[in-house]
Amino acid sequence: MKQTQSFNAEIKKLLDLMIHSLYSNKEIFLRELISNASDAMDKLKFEVLTNHQLVRPDHKYEVRLEPNKTDGTLKIIDSGIGMNKEEVVEYIGTIARSGTQKYHQLSQEMKNKPELIGQFGVGFYSSFMVAEKVILHTQKAGTNMGVVWESQGDGTYSIDEVPRPEGVGTTITLKLKKFQEEDHVADFSDEWTLKSLVKKYSDFISYPVVMKTKVAIPETATEENKEPQYKDEDQTLNSMKALWLRPAHEIKPEEYSEFYKHISHDWSEPIKTVHYKAEGTIEFTSLLFVPEKKPWNYQYRDTEYGLSLYVKKVFIMSDCKDLLPPHLRFVKGLIDSSDLSLNVSREILQQDRQVQLIKKNVVNKIYSSLKELLTQSRDKYELFWKEFGSTLKEGVANDVTAKDKIQDLLLFTTSTQDKLSTLDEYIVRMKPEQKDIYFITGENMTQIKNTPYMEKLNEKGYEVLLCVDPVDEWVMNSLSTYKDKKLQSITRNDLNLDTEEEKKKKEEENKSLKERFLPLIDKMKTFLNENIKDVVISDRLSSTPACLVSAANDPSANMERLMSRMGGEFNMPRTKRILELNLKHPLFESMINKNEEEQKTWSEILYNQALLNEGSDLPDPARFSKQISDLMARM
């Protein structure tokens, strides 16, 4: 029974945005629909490998275009796997769920970056850019009932169960809009237009895209009638050459670009293309792309990733995670192997030695290609880093085999440079007496640039890596050394900034300071016993009275905050830290002459100030506020 349903309010707005606000280049709809048809036939071919009964042995895999100028319609017909009613509802629901979750963000992004529409949902919806009415008639392989979905993009759609005359596959009928001449939109019921669009966008599709065209019949022209007679004949509009199997030097950049858009549903250009053939103990061809921008759903936990896997040009599966580690999940593309079996399954892939060799080879090629991008196209690499640097850095913390390759690709903001820096570039700029590479982790640049921990390093002119990405805490813990240089957090107690001569001089100064202030230090240890491990004299502070530092093997304050926000099993109790005092600060001359109650209050204030300086929350903000107010009132 035919049912009419409504899109929710947010989807109505998104469809309206698609229909009326996006794209002067509306012709791209055909690429998306042919791409979907190709995917459907890939899926059917894969299913037939294990279920020969799904289609007849002579099943014809093709995409057919049927334009009708008189009716103003265009049909895109495929012989792919088709869908049942539940899948059609799910297909509609994909855009609905995505839109509901992130509508406000996406609607604004789509206004500014219309290319997002290809990633936002499914290319099927791009048909509403050129059609006032869309009818989808589909039938799933192995079933006898078809489904008709119909909508005018007005906020409602109908769905009914009707057998498809052609059987398995999908037919999309577009009732084309009538555009004005000033709109500069092509006539998509015109044969020449369709031929040129298929050649431009879909020439590499591995299935024939056919259309009936009028062909002159030889020798039918006579002296009386100069015009020959014509007959309708199927014409294949695309070359069907698998792009990745062609020699790289023969492929134009625009061909790579269109293929990338076909497989990724990203309508922007890739920032890097990697096309190579591996030969020797293992043979395969790979065509890989590094995107310029994150897909809109990149950060979703359930977002699929991985490369498409082909065996001897036969599509096996998409999103094959066994070919890419998680920290390279931004890479799009495919692998075509001549060594693997056609009936390889996801379970077999995990144990297959050939697959592991392919993965190792591909991963190394990606690293070397990123290195090439870094050294030869720094501006492009920095664009990539802005989008995917956080993902790539995960490999340092999570993949021991990847650390040595990735560390050369890392970029950092630093305390002395206006531009991003590699570790090699940092080392070149190190002061002659500087032994270590210094870094600090935190939540934002303002906080860590102005932190008291920087005072001594700024005085000495030492450069510090400023790390504010949440993953940096794990990355820097894993990256303990680089080219014989120790990476040293400036918030730890084992910071060693002085030369031997400076150390001797400090020892003499600290000896007299310690003697003078030892009673106060002992009292502060007692006052703050529940919160700190120790109170010591600082040699890193010059203008701030106190700071908290972590012992060598303890988690940093930033790590504790990150784990706390993750909650549950990741939550960790606050670790006691060491309170360092700058006894040259005039505050302590005043404090030493106070009574014990006042010294206790001042100690608590100093501790809380140190917590604020490291970016941590106060245990009792109201008490701290009152202590400050009372102190100000007495002055």
Give me the DSSP letters along 4-20.
Answer: EEE--HHHHHHHHIIII
132 and 15 in a common domain: yes
In a domain, 329, yes or no: yes
What CATH number does the domain containing 278 carry?
3.30.230.80
In a domain, 592, yes or no: yes
Residue 116: pLDDT band with limits 50, 70, 90:
very low
Max mean pLDDT among 42-56, 295-309, 457-471 falls in 457-471
In a domain, 406, yes or no: no
- Domain span including residue 312: 243-381
- Given this model, what pLDDT does residue 119 score? 44
Mean pLDDT of 104-131: 59
Taken as a whole, the chain contains a residue count of 635
Which tokens in the block code for residue 338?
């001549």
Residue 299: pLDDT band with limits 50, 70, 90:
confident
Residues 262, 575: Cα–Cα separation, whole Å? 52
284 and 186 in a common domain: no
Look at residue 225 and tell me whether its pLDDT is greater than 50. yes
Task: Kindly report which listed range (95-109, 441-455, 620-634) carries the lowest average pLDDT score.
Answer: 95-109
* Number of domains making up the chain: 4
597 and 518 in a common domain: yes
Question: Considering only CA atoms, which of 628, 483, 516 is closest in space to residue 583?
Answer: 516
- Given this model, what pLDDT does residue 121 score? 43
For residue range 76-107, list pLDDT tens digits in order. 999 999 999 998 887 764 454 443 444 455 55
471 and 433 in a common domain: yes
DSSP state of 21: I
Tokens 């769905």 sit at which residue? 159
- Choose one of 171, 206, 236: the last residue of a domain: 236
φ, ψ of residue 497 to 5 degrees: the values are: -100, -15
Burial of 427: CB neighbours in 10 Å, binned 0-12, 13-18, 19+: middle
418 and 375 in a common domain: no
Max mean pLDDT among 227-231, 329-333, 538-542 falls in 329-333
- Given this model, what pLDDT does residue 10 score? 61
- Given this model, what pLDDT does residue 346 score? 62
- Given this model, what pLDDT does residue 262 score? 82
**381-385 long-range contacts, Cβ below 8 Å, gap at least 24?**
381/411, 382/411, 382/420, 383/271, 383/292, 384/271, 384/272, 384/290, 384/292, 385/411, 385/420
530 and 435 in a common domain: no
In a domain, 39, yes or no: yes
Look at residue 285 and tell me whether its pLDDT is greater than 90. yes
User: What percentage of residues in the chain have a pLDDT greater than 90?
Assistant: 54
For residue range 409-431, list pLDDT tens digits in order. 999 999 999 999 999 999 999 99
Mean pLDDT of 227-244: 86
- Given this model, what pLDDT does residue 622 score? 94
- Given this model, what pLDDT does residue 607 score? 95
In a domain, 494, yes or no: no
What CATH number does the domain containing 434 carry?
3.40.50.11260
- Given this model, what pLDDT does residue 347 score? 64
138 and 78 in a common domain: yes
Look at residue 182 and tell me whether its pLDDT is greater than 80. no
Task: Kindly report which listed range (54-63, 291-300, 586-595) carries the lowest average pLDDT score.
Answer: 291-300
Element of type H or E holding 533: strand 532-537
- Given this model, what pLDDT does residue 98 score? 42
**Per-chain mean pLDDT for the chain:** 86
Q: Which residues contact 624 (CB under 8 A, 6 or more apart)?
A: 604, 605, 608, 618
Q: Which residues of 199-219 are buried (b: 16+ CB within 10 A; e: fewer)?
A: eebbbbbbbbbbbebeeeeee
- Given this model, what pLDDT does residue 453 score? 94
169 and 23 in a common domain: yes
What CATH number does the domain containing 622 carry?
1.20.120.790
Residues 572, 568: Cα–Cα separation, whole Å? 9
Look at residue 7 and tell me whether its pLDDT is greater than 60. yes
In a domain, 52, yes or no: yes
User: What percentage of residues in the chain have a pLDDT greater than 70?
Assistant: 89
For residue range 475-517, list pLDDT tens digits in order. 999 999 999 999 999 999 888 888 788 888 888 877 888 888 9
In a domain, 386, yes or no: no
157 and 102 in a common domain: yes
In a domain, 222, yes or no: no
- Choose one of 333, 364, 381: the last residue of a domain: 381
- Given this model, what pLDDT does residue 188 score? 94
Of 595 and 220, more confident: 595
For residue range 537-593, list pLDDT tens digits in order. 998 898 999 999 998 888 888 888 888 777 665 667 788 999 999 999 999 999 999
Mean pLDDT of 378-406: 95
What secondary structure, in 3-state letters, does 245-295 show?
HCCHHHCCHHHHHHHHHHHHCCCCCCCEEEEEEECCCCCEEEEEEECCCCC
- Given this model, what pLDDT does residue 8 score? 63
447 and 376 in a common domain: no
269 and 181 in a common domain: no
14 and 161 in a common domain: yes
Which tokens in the block code for residue 35?
């791409």
For residue range 523-541, list pLDDT tens digits in order. 999 999 999 999 999 988 9
Q: Is residue 119 within 8 Å of 295, Cβ to Cβ? A: yes
Mean pLDDT of 34-63: 91
